[in-house]
Chain A
Amino acid sequence: MWKCSALALVLVWAGAAALTAQSPKYGVGRPATPEEIRDLGAAIAPDGGGLPEGSGSVAEGRAVFAARCARCHGPKGEGAVGATLVGGQGTLGTPRPLKTVGSFWPYATTVWDYINRAMPFDEPGLLKPPEVYAVVAYILNLNSIIGDEGVMDARSLPKVKMPNRDGFVADPRPDVGNAK
């Protein structure tokens, strides 16, 4: 009898534990709303996940860039108070590497993501998705990564292979410091 009761107790306890593991323990907060997730879920994956509808051409991007980007990055992305966006391919293994979107950034999706989230510097969020696609197309074109007739959208952008895509390696540290 004693054994049966103990066993029953253990079974009840085990069942409760399993339920607890699958439901919130503290129950704070409320379910996130679709609007919150949409507003905060703007991060773009390297496979293109999260990219919105719309498209933009190199030609359209040239106009947007001149109006919104050139003031800091120079008319051709050569850099000013803002970063240099163009050039540098072939310099990464030299004593004077020039790290630009064209020479260094491994994913074109990152260019879209960063412009969308953080640019223009003093007015982030200003550009609509088609304008972001267009500016990305223009910057890729300035770096000779896509042609003059290029158009970027949710399908074409993740397919762009950046020149430095294969230039990244895992962290091997500690690589120095385990011997005097």
Chain B
Amino acid sequence: MKHFGRSSRRRLLQMGAAMGGGLLAGQQKVLAWDTPGKLGTPLGPYGERSPFEKAVRWRRESGTPETGSSFTPLQDSVGTLTPSSLHYERHHAGIPTIDPAKHRLVVHGMVDRPLSMTVAEIRRLPSVTRTLVLECGGNSASEWAARTGPDVQRSYGLASCSEWTGVPLSLVLAEVGVRPGAAWVIAEGADACRMERSIPLAKAMDDILLAYGQNGEAIRPAQGYPLRLIIPGWEGNTSVKWLHSLKLTDQAYMARDETAKYSDLMPDGKTRIFTYQMEAKSVITFPSGGQTMPGRGLYELTGLAWSGRGRIERVEITTDGGRSWVNAQLQEPRLPIAFTRFRLPWRFDGRDAVIASRATDESGYIQPTREALVAVRGTNSIYHFNGIKYWTVKADGTVTNVEV
């Protein structure tokens, strides 16, 4: 799926370098030149990527291997979709192995007809497919305290974009008959910690999916197989994976992961709670930290923008440290709450350049600077950082993160 996008100049150059150069004319020609008259490998039942492709998730160290985060290699991404195998992970108690034939979703609490459904039964219901970004509420957490991530993967890589297929939750709620007075849905997962989140009923009636499909196949185990919530535009933790219970209640349950975690501590000591919304964000993926420009000349500067509030309207680029901004080209169609690829031809002339992107979404929200965020929210906040990310392309071609 990731090969649908047009290969960037950088990738072609890398491939050329890896294979001895001069091999830019395509696969057929490489084979003919490299292995004349030799048969290729047989067909296979489930695809693998080329052995020459090395992009992998980066895993932050944690005290226990079952908890923590792994980050999508956005610097290697092309187009707008994230391969399922490179989708970011955030687990709190490991990945459960679930036999879908034995898995059930129970919808209960303030309903007329408490319902128990198998995954096969849920798949009988009318389904929808949406391309949506998921972003961890803690993505870019390291940016708050100015310990800026050295590359785009480690600083912005807890965001990924997939095509999700499932059943509108509102349809299932109509089946069970929500009782008057119900205002919240308490979602629980089947992982070892039975992840729990309280979700306002209004959102559940609006656009939440009971998802079983991701990028054309069943959701991967690490993404919630066989059933998860997908909550468009909200922090990833609310899209409870391995979903097995939805309880309709008249109150939020103040679960650990919506009070002690995934809440935003402000400088005055007060804490914002139920900060579900992910706001507009963008980042340049090439050139980005850790990369090296192969030489002077014309390049395609590119990156990703997204917003939990809808479509991306505009992405502006600066290559002079924020003094001037120009509009980037946006890849159509610009889907709401999905990765939007932006591009700008840019000539690297061998002089220092400080580059950044700034996204505006259809609500008129403009991605703020880190300084503007910190001025209001301080640096104890951890979650929901969406500030502008600057990279410095140095005269020697190396690219680093910088404080501006």
Contacts and interface: CB of A to CB of B under 8 A. Distances in A.
A131 interface: no
Given A40-B108, A118-B93, A180-B366, A173 B259 contact: no
B196 to A, nearest CB: 6
A163 B34 CA distance: 71
B180 to A, nearest CB: 13
Interface stretch (A4-12, A57-65, A100-108): A100-108
Contacts of B59: none
B90 interface: no
A81 B64 contact: yes
B116 A124 contact: no
A15 interface: no
Contact of B271 (A22, A33, A92, A109): A92
B251 A47 contact: yes
B254 A177 contact: no
A47 B247 CA distance: 16
Interface in A141-180: 164, 167-180
A91 B235 CA distance: 27
A99 interface: yes
Given A168-B259, A177-B368, A40 B188 contact: yes
B382 to A, nearest CB: 10
Which of B92, B113, B177, B256: most chain A Cβ within 10 A? B256
A32 interface: yes
A106 B256 CA distance: 10
A179 B358 CA distance: 12
B269 A167 contact: yes
B186 interface: yes
B125 A28 contact: yes
Contact of B259 (A97, A106, A179): A106
Interface residues of A, number: 55
A168 B365 contact: no
Q: Is the interface of A mostly helix, strand, loop or mixed?
A: loop
Nearest to A114: B256
Contacts of A2: none
Nearest to A47: B251
A173 B312 CA distance: 18
Contacts of B372: 176-177
B63 interface: yes
Contacts of A106: 254, 259
A93 B265 CA distance: 8
Interface string B340-381: 000000000000000000000000111110001101110110
Contact of B192 (A45, A97, A124, A172): A124
A109 B263 CA distance: 18
Contacts of A95: 379-380
A117 B277 contact: no
A66 interface: no
A31 B115 contact: yes
A177 B387 CA distance: 9
B98 to A, nearest CB: 14
Given A41-B108, A113-B253, A168 B193 contact: no
29 contacts: A24-B113, A28-B117, A30-B115, A31-B113, A31-B116, A40-B106, A40-B247, A41-B108, A41-B109, A41-B247, A43-B186, A81-B63, A81-B64, A94-B269, A95-B379, A99-B260, A106-B254, A109-B254, A118-B92, A118-B192, A118-B256, A164-B271, A169-B270, A172-B272, A173-B277, A173-B384, A177-B279, A177-B365, A177-B368
Closest 10 CB pairs of A and B: A93-B269, A29-B117, A118-B193, A32-B114, A92-B269, A40-B245, A114-B256, A81-B63, A32-B116, A177-B368
Interface of A: 22, 24-26, 28-33, 36-37, 40-47, 81, 92-95, 97, 99, 101, 104-107, 109-110, 113-114, 117-118, 121, 124, 164, 167-180
Interface of B: 63-64, 92-93, 104, 106-109, 112-118, 121-122, 124-125, 171, 174-177, 186, 188, 192-194, 196, 244-245, 247, 249, 251-256, 259-260, 263-277, 279-280, 364-368, 372-373, 375-377, 379-380, 384, 386
